[in-house]
Amino acid sequence: MKFSVTVTLKKDVLDPQGKVVQNTLINMGMDYLKNIRQGKHFEIEVDEENQLEAEKKIDEMCKKLLVNLIIENYKITKI
Amino acid sequence: MKFSVTVTLKKDVLDPQGKVVQNTLINMGMDYLKNIRQGKHFEIEVDEENQLEAEKKIDEMCKKLLVNLIIENYKITKI
């Protein structure tokens, strides 16, 4: 079973990398850009046929390693 | 108008960072993990009310800066 996990910075956390990308795009003439924030994305495949169980396992991976819960949010979706 | 862009490595491109995460998770006892690949995620807001036009603008940003088309795929979705 395959899942996608999207990790984003929380609203009030600064995103210097995103800021650099934003400034670069604006300097390239794309002044219609209002905001850009960068995050991480994982595609995870687990050996588990029960969706609920699989999601629990993915959630455990996020909490234990993939996500810094203090500054990041995450969303798990089946793909 | 707000969009999410997911950038993933193409199928045959090696993902050393993902491999490290995979080995770490397996060493932590999560041996049900079959595969994990890491990518990038952007949340982009543009000043454009027409969805088709907005998507074109996002697509331009991807092609010109955000995505390395040789080794990466990308997907744009409205949020």
pLDDT in tens, B2-55: 999 999 999 999 999 999 999 999 999 999 999 999 999 999 999 999 999 999
* A58-76 per-position pLDDT tens digit: 999 999 999 999 999 999 9
Residue A46 and residue A1 in contact, taking contact as beta carbons nearer than 8 Å: yes
> Chain B 4-33, CB below 8 Å of chain A: which residues?
4, 6-8, 18, 21, 24-25, 28, 30, 32-33
The complex's ipTM works out to: 0.89
pLDDT of the residue at A76: 97
Question: A21 and B66 in contact (C-beta within 8 Å)?
Answer: yes
Does A8 sit within 8 Å of B41, measured CB to CB?
A: yes
pLDDT value at residue B38:
96
Rounded to 5 degrees, φ, ψ at A24 are -60, -45
Q: Please report the domains of chain A, with CATH numbers, ordered by start residue.
A: 2-78 (3.30.1280.10)
What length does chain A have? Answer: 79
| A76 touches B: beta carbon within 8 Å | no
Residue of chain A nearest B63, judged by CA positions: A25
CB atoms under 10 Å from CB of B33, counted, come to: 20
pTM of the model: 0.91
User: Residue B61 and residue B64: Cα distance in Å, rounded?
Assistant: 5
